[in-house]
Amino acid sequence: MGKLTLAACIISILGFIQPFKKNIEAGSKKSNSLRIFWKDNLLTISDDTLSGKKIEILYLEAFCKTNSTNQNWEETTIPHKTELVFADEKNTHIKLRTLVEPDIEVTHDIRVKKDEVAFNLVLQNKGKKRRDIEWFQPCIHVDNFTNRNQENYTSRCFIFTKSGLTTLNKTQHTEEAIYKGGQVYAPQGINLNDVNPRPLSPDKPINGLIGCFSDDDKYLMATAWDNYQELFQGIFVCIHSDPRIGGLKAGEVKKVSGKIYFLKNDPEKLLQRYHRDFSKTK
């Protein structure tokens, strides 16, 4: 009788656990719907829940020196080359290595985490001299996500100003700069001589978020870094949150981290996530 009771208990427990196991597996599959792929400086992010939409990022477009605002772009950018070090079979984890001339090494650890992609970078100056490397550019193409073109995509993109969430078409624009087109949004405390040589908006972002809404208004995508030089409305249906480095002394190591969020269209939830993740953002 005792043995039968024990066996019955085991069967009962297994029957109780099985639905939870299925739920866990289903949740795991859902959390891994984001996928990442990198080749030839292009990082592609796709998600089954976004109706086949994808985000393509020029990763990385440029590493930049100081005094960039009023000089030719060729004098600002530093030659660099990125290579793939590791990619898992599930397309959820990538490692890259970038060599920035002449002697800076950047290692990238990029991972899918449920409804976000997390970036953790380590930058090291392996040389014997301080290097002028002030900021860099991941260029996020949003034409597919917004279903807009260069003429109308700014109405789908946003930053946060003192007025709250502000679409880029509603921000204050200027026109004069070395290069026409686009709009730069520099936060408080950034030297305005060290930003993109495109028109500089009088509006200052109050946090590091820049993002856009999907064409069906169901989702939003937004990106931020723990320390940023500028937010930028580009000239190729793109948006930037450009991370700040601030130079590297001989032998110095710095770390920067960032995220790209894919959320339902709820700006308040986005702000909550941002403040949780970047509460110490400079």
Residue 106 · residue 122 · CB < 8 Å: yes
> Which element (helix H / strand E) includes 43?
strand 42-47
- Distance in angstroms (rounded) separating the CA atoms of residues 34 and 249: 37
Q: Is the pTM of this model over 0.85?
A: yes
- Distance in angstroms (rounded) separating the CA atoms of residues 99 and 115: 30
Q: Which CATH architecture fits 36-277? A: Distorted Sandwich (2.70)
Q: What is the pLDDT of residues 241-274, one digit of tens each?
A: 999 999 999 999 999 999 999 999 999 999 999 9
Q: What is the pLDDT of residues 177-216, one digit of tens each?
A: 999 999 999 999 999 999 999 999 999 999 999 999 999 9
Segments of 142-197 assigned E as strands? 157-161, 164-167, 183-185
Q: What is the pLDDT of residues 38-71, one digit of tens each?
A: 999 999 999 877 666 789 999 999 999 999 999 9
